Chain A
């Protein structure tokens, strides 16, 4: 058995939304979790400045706070401090994060060597893996270039189209929003949606492709030059193209979506590419397992 500690659990209810990106956070050094969370977007408008409203992610729900200690005095102190809180989180002055404490309980908590179930996180690679089949290269190229061409839905996200020689590819890219039977486009659409669900979290409409970083640094992008550079790297190979986008300063200054102004074009493209590569890795690992078991 491990060392024995007493655990205090205090429960409350959020009466107004609390601004927090994550439903697990620390409060006065204790672990806090919002149970049964309901997400609300809190829009903040600054009337004196000509700017779009900023939306904050906030949550309503029950809140549970856990403190572990072998000292009862420590628990007593924490309990007092918690019960003195009336509001938590940002913009309390506007009445956000109001909390009503309900009660709680204690139990003997035996510290175990907790099994950590590792969450699979997406890591953005510096470069693409060396081994890639031709088919995989094609899909990656399609994905990395898909936002640079005019489609019925939107203009090229850098306004200019790179003059890619492979006209077949360009034609396919222009159809990337459409319903299709082409397996590659279908496969791409799956990853595009997956990437959007990862990066498009905060709805915040914008008026310009330039993002706030660009506005801060007052940089202007030469889009014609950018398109030409992309075309040149794209003609070499997929590894160079990925690397170029990874390092590109210009793509960091461009917004990916006009309705979700918090994600850059660079980020979106890299996330798609990495999702694809991750799945390639999984597939080959499974195939290997299969071979071994035989």
Chain B
């Protein structure tokens, strides 16, 4: 391919690659709130495929992994999925959390009523983005709205269902239970005439909230609200979507990318992540948040 043309420059002159690739390690420092969570059953679904009655999780890719069988190493395959809706779940929790503490913040809707005239805006909130001109609320500052980008990123490592206790995968994977629940929507004389399935996940997993750009009080608000998170995915009233928060850690995570020249004209990039816990900043953030609440009430 294109590589073959590069041989022309070899030998006589030194490759310009040395000048092109960065001579120093590229470091990307981030502050990340790591959240350990558990769910007995939840369905952060991505909708159904055409021609299928099953609602799926968002499929990423299938991958090969190695596991030990006695002394032998064997290979098997599994499918990785993405946990959707984490940011939405957090946003919702932050919103109600603020309201309970007497703070008026943005609602998720920018419309007051729907087409039938039903109110979409509960008391104690203002319309999404309506605070930007005068006094931007803390929720808008963190989550943004249309045209105002979000300060945080909420994501989780891909999940997969692997039955082997110890395994090695090419990418880091969170091992959880993933299965399909068959449900019956309509029955006629005891027979199901329209059934459908929903994929769900169960077990322990971890997700990350990137709060690098947040101020201390914004961090505090997110930390506190995250502790109270209890909902992910649909069907909460039917007993699904339960989320239990098991632990929080604030870490300074630095991604180091180091380009390494492998031959005359090509290079690879080695990536390493350094992590360091930030317990002091964690408590400082919570104090800053309490102060913010106090000041808000005093002004009012």
Interface residues in B12-27 by Cβ distance below 8 A to A read 15-17, 19-22, 26
Closest residue of chain B to A203 (Cβ to Cβ) is B50
Chain A binder among B35-43, B180-188, B260-268, B292-300: B260-268
Partner of A83, one of B59, B156, B269: B269
Residues of A within 8 A of B46 (CB): 41-43
Interface pair A95/B154, CB less than 8 Å apart: yes
Assembled-state Cα–Cα distance A43/B153 (Å):
18
Is the CB–CB distance between B26 and A84 below 8 Å?
A: yes
* Cβ–Cβ contact B269 & A101, under 8 A: yes
What residues of A have a CB within 8 angstroms of the CB of B3 in the complex? 105, 107
Interface pick from B105-113, B161-169, B280-288: B105-113
Per the bound structure, the CA–CA distance linking A83 and B20 in Å amounts to 12
Instruction: Let me know if A94 and B6 touch, CB within 8 A.
Output: no
**Given contact pairs A94-B155, A106-B20, A49 touches B114 in the complex (Cβ within 8 A):** yes
Residue A65 CB within 8 A of the other chain: no
B192 an interface residue at 8 Å Cβ cutoff? no
**Segment of B70-78, B80-88, B193-201, B220-228 engaged in the interface with chain A:** B80-88
CA distance A93 to B148 in the complex (A): 12
Main secondary structure of the interface of A (DSSP, over half): strand
Q: In the complex, A94→B171 CA distance in Å?
A: 19
Q: Are A95 and B155 in contact (CB under 8 A)?
A: yes
Chain B 84-101 interface mask (CB, 8 Å, partner A; 1/0): 101110000000000000
Q: Which residues from chain B contact A203 at a C-beta distance below 8 Å?
A: 50
- Per-residue CB contact flags for chain B residues 115-135 toward chain A (1 = under 8 Å, else 0) read 100001000000000000000
B86 touches A48 (CB 8 A): no
Most chain A beta carbons < 10 A, residue from B21, B152, B158: B21
Q: Is the CB of A80 within 8 A of B22?
A: yes
Does A94 lie within 8 Å of B108, measured CB to CB?
A: no
A120-174: which residues lie under 8 A (CB-CB) from chain B?
none
> Which one of B59, B155, B255, B259 contacts A40 once the chains associate, using CB atoms below 8 Å?
B59
Determine whether B237 belongs to the interface, using a CB cutoff of 8 Å to chain A: no
Contacts of A94 in B (CB 8 A): 84, 86-87, 153-155
- Taking chain B's interface residues, is the majority helix, strand, or loop, or is none over half, making it mixed? mixed
A93 adjacent to B28 (CB under 8 Å): no
Q: With contacts defined as CB atoms under 8 Å apart, how many contacts are there between chain A and chain B in the complex?
A: 129
B179 at the interface (CB under 8 A from A): no
Q: Which chain B residues lie closer than 8 Å to A231 at the CB level?
A: none
Is B271 located at the chain interface by the 8 A CB criterion?
A: yes
**Do B271 and A100 have beta carbons less than 8 Å apart?**
yes
* B265 in contact with A107 (CB, 8 Å): yes
Decide: A79 and B21 in contact? CB cutoff 8 A.
yes
B152 near A49 (CB under 8 angstroms)? no
Bound CA–CA A41/B108 (angstroms): 23
Q: Is A75 an interface residue (CB 8 A)?
A: yes
Residue from A9, A15, A40, A50 whose CB has the most chain B CB atoms within 10 Å = A15
Q: Return 6 A-B CB contacts under 8 Å, by A number.
A: A6-B16, A15-B171, A43-B47, A50-B115, A94-B154, A101-B269
Measured CB to CB, the residues of B under 8 A from A are 2-3, 5-6, 8-9, 15-17, 19-22, 26, 28, 46-47, 50, 58-61, 82, 84, 86-88, 107-109, 111, 114-115, 120, 144, 149-150, 152-156, 158, 171, 255, 257, 259, 262, 265-269, 271
Q: A residues within 8 Å of B by Cβ?
A: 6-9, 15-17, 38, 40-43, 46-50, 53, 55, 60, 72-73, 75-76, 79-80, 83-84, 86-87, 92-95, 98, 100-108, 203, 259
Across the A-B interface, give the 7 residue pairs with the lowest CB-CB distance, nearest first.
A95-B155, A103-B268, A105-B266, A93-B150, A107-B6, A48-B108, A48-B109
